[in-house]
Amino acid sequence: MTLLIAGGRVLRDGFETMDIVVEGESIAAVGAGPANGHLRLDASGLLVLPGIVDCHGDAFERHIMPRPKVSFDIGLALRDADRALLASGITTAFHGVTWSWEPGLRGAENARRLLDTIDALAPELGADTRFHLRHETFNLDAEAEIIDWLRSGRVGVLAFNDHTEGTLKTRSRPDKVGKMVERSGLSHEDFMTLVENVYARKDEVPGSISRLAAAAQEAGIPVLSHDDMTPEMRRWYRALGVSVAEFPIDEETAREAAAHREPIVFGAPNVVRGGSHTGCPSAEEMVAKGLCTILASDYYYPALLLAPFILARNGTARLEDAWKLVSQAPAEAFGLGDRGTIAPDMRADLILVDDAPQPRVVATIAGGRLVHLADQRILG
């Protein structure tokens, strides 16, 4: 199918009013005139932006378990999440699937089901949906199976997470561990006993991380370290070939990553809310200081659309530059050279946005397909 997007303000080096012709899955021409036998979208008055690449989003978990101990079919949940992604302008989604030593929502069986279901549903989902494995580093028994997944190409991104030590430190605070206990299905006492048993194997963790990082590199899979606590931790992960710093815990650690030109990920909800809800660095301040190169949806898909506009409104970054944080930069960091910018021969991942009074996605084109339409008046 040929698709003509006519008269929109297209983001390239800056914004310029022009037409875009899409042929099949790719952008055929930018600035060209009408094509024959096309579907026409009238983008007059709208911004035409590269589709959003979300390298870390786990809001789909709420589609699976909207309330503690209330679960729905994973296929149903992922289809529902796909609609939410497309309405937020996300055309490439790395679902952040946590495989922990916990039972329940983040346990082994759920991780396996999610991997299988993403594989099975991929052809029918609107967004290019990939598997971001958030490996809890104390989940030692999973190592062999994860290496098999890496070697077979089933994992899009591997991230190293450690919430075990933090859980032990807050064992006496139900407000901190309550959510983990609820999603595990265990009693508080049984959950804390499990944590202590898992932590008893802490001496085995560094060796396991090293082997997994090596397997990922051998398979050509990008690797992230999550919540780096110190510059020393970032240096340790760097020595293993873990080249992306995801949510560094303080500015000093972010500066360590920036000094080595490493991609640095912060959460878009942090920008939208005006700061971190956990006392971590302000993502907007990190952008202003050149210490954030990528924004991710984290736990709230709509934030990825809104954050660049907020950064531009506040004078923190031009919209042209702020949009790179959600499109070009993550695409480049995670080896997706066919998307993230608007140019001939690039994958046709495009969104049409009405930016007033609050940005909203009017249409989403993913891989050349019109997969979301919020206003049929643009059909012409």
Look at residue 137 in the predicted model and tell me its pLDDT: 97
Q: Say how many domains are in the chain.
A: 2
Same domain, 235 and 327: yes
10: domain CATH number is 2.30.40.10
Instruction: Give me the residues of the chain with pLDDT under 50, please.
Output: none
Same domain, 252 and 296: yes
Look at residue 373 in the predicted model and tell me its pLDDT: 98
* Cβ contact 103:141 at 8 Å: no
Same domain, 87 and 144: yes
Look at residue 377 in the predicted model and tell me its pLDDT: 93
Same domain, 57 and 154: yes
Question: What is the b/e burial string over 115-144, where b = at least 16 CB atoms within 10 angstroms of the residue's CB?
Answer: bebbeeeeeebbbbbbbbbbbbbbbbebbe
Q: What predicted TM-score, i.e. pTM, was given to this entire model? A: 0.94
Same domain, 262 and 326: yes
| Residues spanned by the domain of 365 | 2-49+341-378
Look at residue 185 in the predicted model and tell me its pLDDT: 82
138: domain CATH number is 3.20.20.140
Look at residue 177 in the predicted model and tell me its pLDDT: 72
Same domain, 133 and 28: no
Same domain, 157 and 76: yes
Look at residue 165 in the predicted model and tell me its pLDDT: 78
Q: Which tens digits make up the pLDDT trace of 87-102?
A: 999 999 999 999 999 8
* Residue 28 Cα distances to 32, 33, 63, 368, 371, angstroms: 9, 11, 36, 10, 19
Same domain, 197 and 225: yes
Look at residue 171 in the predicted model and tell me its pLDDT: 65
Look at residue 10 in the predicted model and tell me its pLDDT: 98
Same domain, 73 and 36: no
Same domain, 101 and 193: yes
Q: Which tens digits make up the pLDDT trace of 98-150?
A: 999 988 889 999 999 999 999 999 999 999 999 999 999 999 999 999 999 99
Look at residue 69 in the predicted model and tell me its pLDDT: 81
Look at residue 14 in the predicted model and tell me its pLDDT: 93
Beta strands (DSSP E) in 156-308 are 157-161, 223-226, 244-246, 264-267, 294-296
Same domain, 373 and 291: no
Look at residue 211 in the predicted model and tell me its pLDDT: 98
Same domain, 231 and 357: no
